[in-house]
A and B are shown apart, each in its own frame.
Chain A
């Protein structure tokens, strides 16, 4: 009974934290975009704030901007065009956000394993860890495809079609890119993969090609620039979310940013050592080391998120045929070669 309450509590904390983080990620994104374009970005919300009892404070960097953005999302008129397929139209954003949230169930936020103070994972001890994340991730495409279909609009429809083709194509190299790490660590469990990296080397050293493939395919899975063809504003007006407004649009947005967080976490866990840092090791099970490990992981994840935002303003969007060529003619063969080479080397060394 208490175990169930504990799990529900954990779920609540993780989901709440993620929603809050996403709200601030939007601010960070706008700031990064502004600096990349030599602007200042949002800097007004939070200035000259008068709290109760007449306390006046000045918050820098527009720190209250997410609250303003959120209020705008909620208070806007929620337009549902008359020609849409209504059940699917309402279902699509829900699928987008639910699929993005469910993936966090097996992502370790810190140390996991027997003997730890606390399992920093909602569902510890899932043997198939990473496969579960991929399974949930493969469901995210439904949100986009259904939004495109239900909107009954040519632009949305084209966005949905592009998205389904893109996500199916990039799932193949994404799945194969991690197999090298799985072979090395001998487990699909994310906690064990981190423990292996602590005892040996970081995944980025052991599997540089795997890291590159994972990063590129992960970008494609998050639907962000340079892979944002489903919503490319210049050609498709906004693609699959053309007909969406207010909080339904906001849900797609939230889903996208949660994907960014998931991909960053996975990259850090699989290739950047997770909580691994000089001075920290698997053997430490104290509370202090647990907190340190969580902070180290969060720091690395923040760096990855920043990198993803940075790349958005660095690379232009692919053309559709280039996108498909990249997946099927470059990434898939490279992933296969990497996999075979890794398996061969492991067999030679251990056999």
Chain B
């Protein structure tokens, strides 16, 4: 692994420090959750600066429009993420979350993962965040509570998160210089060990030819250790088919386990949600006859 240069080190340190300080200033503090407007302004300025510095590390794919859209979606997603945790109103937070999901979906689209992009939008923006909004709006019928409006232990959380962020940035930057070195060396592979790459025989049917391999092939691929990554196959057909083949062959066990887990959770949710008879049944008092004298 290559060493990162001094300039890269200084830039990443500056970005992390400015970003952390900015987010700390922006977070709603105090019982009322109202921090001085000046603090929010200074914090957002520091964060914007950190964002610009970190943007110097980016290597947008392609050229022209896709590059412009990459920068746009990248900046939007990070900025919306910050606004999501610093917003005072939970409903606004949920909306910024939706903005994060949408810009991430845009990044997926640029990377060519159409199905993942659409799936992210449907599942997160279309279902989960709408459910969040539903719950928040139901819970907030009588004004906003103070614990909704202020951050809990903002200093400590910002410190731990940005330490983690720094570690991640360090790893990514050194990986990036590593990858650059390999590209110059003639190989574009990020995976250093060639031995774990094994060719994957296709189990998707092409045309009307009979499947080259049946159940045994699926089982073989499913029971392979996860460490042995299949070689990235070049999708011949629509890549939704390729995605399905990967999910239901290479990751069959994981998919089935996740499905089973969700099913159990569903059964549990229904068991909790159905109304039960009360432990102490309410004794129904017979109503007095209509002509009884009123006391």
**In the assembled complex, which residues on chain A have CB atoms less than 8 Å from the CB atom of B238?**
127, 187-189
In whole angstroms, how far apart are the Cα atoms of A168 and B122 in the complex? 10
B114 at the interface (CB under 8 A from A): yes
With a cutoff of 8 Å between Cβ atoms, the chain B residues found around residue A189 in the complex are 238
Known contacts: A138-B125, A142-B130, A188-B240. The answer to whether A128 contacts B98 by CB under 8 A is: no
Interface residues of B in 97-129 (CB under 8 A from A): 98, 102, 105, 114-115, 117-119, 121-122, 125-127
Q: Kindly state the separation between the CA atoms of A134 and B114 in the bound complex, as whole angstroms.
A: 13
Q: Are A135's CB and B131's CB within 8 A?
A: no
B134–A131 CB distance below 8 A:
no
For A175, the closest partner residue in chain B by CB is B122
User: Is B65's CB under 8 angstroms from A138's CB?
Assistant: no
B180 within 8 A of A: no
Q: A128-B240, A142-B98, A189-B238 are in contact. Are A149 and B122 (CB under 8 A)?
A: no
Q: Is the CB of B134 within 8 A of A138?
A: no
Cβ B122 vs Cβ A138 within 8 A = yes
Tell me which of B92, B118, B130 contacts A145 (CB under 8 A).
Answer: B130
Whether B91 sits at the interface, judged by CB under 8 Å, is yes
Contact of A161 with B122 in the complex, beta carbons under 8 Å: no
A161 proximity list for chain B (CB < 8 A): 134, 137-138
A131 touches B130 (CB 8 A): no
Bound complex: CA A126 to CA B238 (Å): 10
Q: Which of B208-257 contact A (CB under 8 A)?
A: 238-240
Q: Is the CB of B126 within 8 A of A132?
A: no
A274 is an interface residue with CB less than 8 A from chain B: no
> In chain A, what residue has the closest Cβ to B98?
A142
Given contacts A164-B130, A168-B127, A171-B127, contact A131 B239 (CB under 8 A): no
How many residue pairs bridge A and B at CB < 8 Å? 78
Select A131's contact among B91, B92, B119, beta carbons within 8 Å: B119
If the complex has contacts A127-B114, A128-B240, A134-B118, are A145 and B126 also in contact, measured as CB distance less than 8 A?
no
9 contacts between A and B (CB under 8 A): A128-B114, A132-B118, A135-B117, A138-B121, A138-B125, A139-B121, A142-B98, A146-B95, A188-B238
A285 to B122, CA, bound (A): 35
Give the size of the chain B interface in residues (CB under 8 angstroms). Answer: 26
User: Which A residue's beta carbon lies closest to that of B119?
Assistant: A131
- Looking across the interface, which residue of chain A has its beta carbon closest to that of B113? A128
A206 at the B interface (CB under 8 A): no
**B134 interface neighbour in A4, A127, A165, Cβ under 8 Å:** A165
Cβ distance A121 to chain B, nearest Cβ, rounded Å? 15
Q: What are the residues of chain A within 8 A of B114 when measuring CB–CB? A: 126-128, 132
Interface check B51, CB cutoff 8 A = no
B126 to chain A, nearest CB (A): 3
A138–B126 CB distance below 8 A: yes
What 0/1 pattern do residues 135 to 167 of A give for CB contact below 8 A with B? Answer: 110110110011011000000010011001101
List A contacts of B65 (CB < 8 A): 4
Q: Is the interface of B mostly helix, strand, loop or mixed?
A: helix
Neighbour of B122 across the interface among A4, A131, A167, A188, CB < 8 A: A131
Give A145 to B65 CA distance when docked, in angstroms: 33
Q: Assess the A160–B240 pair: CB atoms within 8 A.
A: no
Tell me whether B115 and A127 are in contact (CB under 8 A). yes
| B49 interface hit (Cβ, 8 Å) | no
- A67 CA / B132 CA spacing, docked (Å): 41
Q: Is the CB of B115 within 8 A of A164?
A: no
A164 near B98: Cβ-Cβ < 8 Å: no
Query: Are B137 and A128 in touch, CB under 8 angstroms?
Result: no
A138 in complex: contacting residue of B92, B117, B127, B240, CB < 8 Å: B127
Contact A167 B130 (CB under 8 A): yes
Is the CB–CB distance between B127 and A160 below 8 Å? no
Known: A134-B118, A135-B126; 9 extra A-B contacts, CB below 8 A, are: A88-B92, A126-B114, A128-B114, A135-B117, A135-B119, A138-B126, A157-B137, A164-B133, A188-B240
Q: Nearest A residue to B211 by beta-carbon distance?
A: A351
C-alpha gap A164/B127 in the complex (Å): 9
Task: Say whether B118 contacts A131, CB under 8 Å.
Answer: yes
Q: How far is the CA of A189 from the CA of B115 in the complex (A)?
A: 12
Rounded to whole angstroms, the CA-CA distance of A150 and B146 in the bound complex is: 20
Kindly state the separation between the CA atoms of A266 and B121 in the bound complex, as whole angstroms: 20
A132 and chain B: residue at smallest CB distance: B118
Say how far B97's CB is from chain A's closest CB, in angstroms.
Answer: 12
Chain A residues contacting B127 (CB-CB under 8 Å) are 138, 168, 171
Interface digits, A104-128 against B, CB 8 Å rule (1 contact, 0 not)?
A: 0000000000000000000000111
- Point out the residues of chain A lying under 8 angstroms from B117, CB to CB: 135
Residue numbers in B under 8 Å from A168 (CB-CB): 126-127, 130-131
**Closest-CB distance, A250 to chain B (whole angstroms):** 23
Does the CB pair A139–B134 fall under 8 Å? no
B:252-278 near A, CB below 8 Å: none
Q: Which residue of chain B has the shortest Cβ distance to A189 in the bound complex?
A: B238
The chain B residue with its CB closest to the CB of A91 is B95
Closest 5 CB pairs of A and B: A138-B126, A135-B121, A135-B118, A131-B118, A127-B238
Bound complex: CA of A135 vs CA of B130, how far in Å?
13
- Contact pattern, A 1-27, Cβ under 8 Å of B = 1, otherwise 0: 000100000000000000000000000
Residue pair A141, B126 in contact (C-beta under 8 Å) = yes
What's the nearest-Cβ distance from chain A to residue B212, in Å? 15
Which single residue of chain A is at the shortest CB-CB distance from B137?
A: A149
Residues in B whose Cβ lies below 8 Å from that of A160: 137
A302–B65 Cα distance when bound, in Å, is 37
Q: How far is the CA of A139 from the CA of B122 in the complex (A)?
A: 8
B91, closest chain A residue (CB): A149
